[in-house]
């Protein structure tokens, strides 16, 4: 019995490993096969978002604290590279050496930001991230060293279009890979504990503040780095583009579409939405139809695929596999429907079950007795 199970498991592992290798090869060879700069352009933006959404998910997806302030790090990273290049008179390929600076800036900003913001509860957290976001955007407008409304321009790299795009493709691919690898680190369990029930987690000995802060800073570092890369690609940053309010909303949507809390989810979400948005605007270029369509698409996503593509497909696959066998549905799937006021149904996690014991949330007392926040 054990022997059979073992070989079944190792077969699965081998299959997964092979798929991963194939994927890696495909991704690396991509620009060679699809050499048109138009396609690599889409790929670059997709990769940028993959990296940033993965970074966002690193913190928000797991902890349940929705941050709408990632643009703070993104823009700061962009500006850091631009201002440094200008101040230290760096032109040409040397600008790429400034990228670690972008990452560092993201981290440095995240520490005080996190210390302030992570002390409050979830609703307030969201609004604090929005407030800090606007503070940064406005500072970018007001300070002289950020160039005010004019922003900062990147040194011109006189490469041919294909070369330019290809090089940025590999650069952003690297960022995305780094993001995914970091994401697989060990935070998952502790963060999920915090999401499920923060007070209890703290009672059980999880150092909530430290864990939250660490995840937050890490996510900020990666976002800052990608911001720097984006700046070099677009060759300019200005307050409304470096600190773009819709940027954060798009992140949430992508993570959502793919599946919060999963690793591949954000990747799929970003892959679908970013190129999709760019392409739709080109296709329906006249009138406002593209905007209406986009809105309708988002609505459809949230309503019909509420847990995200990855978990939902996982569900379907599992259901296919266990067809016919008497499966005991997990207790969490039997919760009653809610009205949209305060539903407490715990979502199933596709990445294995949380090992913390989950108390039934029947009485709905998840901190709402006070009413606000």
Subset of 143-202 contacting another protein (CB under 8 A): 148-151, 153-156, 158-161, 164-165, 195, 197-199
Is position 370 an interface residue for another protein (rule: CB under 8 A)?
Answer: yes
The 10 Å Cβ neighbour count of residue 177 is: 16
Radius of gyration of the chain (CA): 22
87 binds another protein (CB under 8 A): no
CB nearer to another protein: give 205 or 370: 370
CB 258 within 8 A of CB 264: yes
Q: How far is the CB of 370 from another protein (least distance, A)?
A: 4
d(CA 79, CA 83) in angstroms, rounded, equals 6
Total binding residues toward another protein, as defined by CB under 8 A: 103
Q: Which of 341, 352, 355, 357 binds another protein (CB under 8 A)?
A: 341
- CA dist 189 and 113 (Å) reads 24
Q: Binding mask 201-230 vs another protein (x if CB under 8 A, - otherwise)?
A: ------------------------------
According to CB under 8 A, which residues from 88 to 127 bind another protein? 91, 116, 119-124, 126-127
Kindly tell me which of 17 and 112 has the beta carbon lying closer to another protein: 112
**Partners of 117 in the beta sheet?**
none
Q: Which C-beta is closer to another protein: that of 134 or that of 170?
A: 134
Query: Of 204, 270, 219, which Cα lies nearest the Cα of 66?
Result: 219
3-state secondary structure of 358: coil
Backbone CA torsion sign across 245, 251, 257, 262: negative
Q: How far apart are the C-alpha atoms of 43 and 271, rounded to whole Å?
A: 8
Report the nearest approach of another protein to the CB of residue 327 (Å). 21
Span of 69-77, 181-189, 235-243, 351-359 interacting with another protein by CB under 8 A: 235-243
């Amino acid at each position: 019995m054990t022997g059979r199970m073992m070989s079944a498991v190792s077969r699965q592992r081998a299959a997964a490993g092979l798929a991963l290798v194939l994927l890696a090869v495909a991704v690396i060879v991509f620009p060679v096969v699809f050499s048109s700069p138009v396609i690599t352009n889409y790929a670059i933006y997709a990769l940028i978002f993959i990296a940033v959404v993965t970074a966002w998910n690193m913190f928000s997806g797991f902890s349940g604290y929705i941050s709408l302030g990632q643009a703070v790090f993104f823009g700061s990273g962009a500006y850091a590279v631009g201002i440094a290049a200008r101040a230290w008179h760096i032109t040409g390929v040397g600008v790429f050496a400034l990228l670690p600076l972008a990452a560092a800036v993201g981290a440095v900003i995240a520490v005080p930001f996190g210390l302030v913001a992570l002390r409050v509860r979830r609703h307030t957290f969201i609004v604090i991230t929005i407030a800090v976001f606007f503070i940064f955007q406005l500072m970018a407008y007001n300070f002289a060293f950020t160039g005010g409304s004019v922003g900062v321009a990147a040194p011109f790299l006189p490469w041919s279009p294909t070369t330019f795009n290809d090089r940025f493709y590999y650069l952003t691919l690297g960022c995305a890979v780094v993001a995914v690898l970091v994401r697989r680190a060990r935070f998952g369990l502790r963060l999920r504990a915090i999401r499920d029930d923060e007070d209890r987690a703290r009672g059980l000995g999880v150092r909530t503040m430290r864990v939250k802060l660490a995840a937050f800073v890490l996510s900020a570092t990666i976002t800052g780095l990608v911001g720097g890369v984006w700046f070099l690609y677009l060759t300019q940053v200005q307050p409304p583009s470096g600190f773009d309010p819709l940027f954060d909303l798009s992140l949430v949507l992508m993570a959502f579409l793919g599946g919060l809390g999963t690793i591949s989810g954000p990747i799929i979400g970003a892959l679908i939405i970013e190129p999709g948005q760019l392409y739709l605007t080109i296709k329906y270029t006249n009138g406002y139809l593209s905007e209406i369509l986009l809105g309708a698409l988002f609505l459809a996503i949230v309503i019909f695929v509420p847990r995200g593509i990855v978990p939902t497909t996982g569900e379907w696959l599992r259901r296919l596999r266990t067809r016919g066998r008497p499966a005991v549905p997990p207790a969490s799937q039997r919760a009653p429907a809610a009205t949209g006021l305060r539903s407490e149904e715990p979502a199933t996690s596709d990445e294995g079950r949380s090992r913390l014991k989950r108390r039934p949330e029947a009485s709905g007392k998840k901190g709402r007795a006070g009413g606000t926040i």
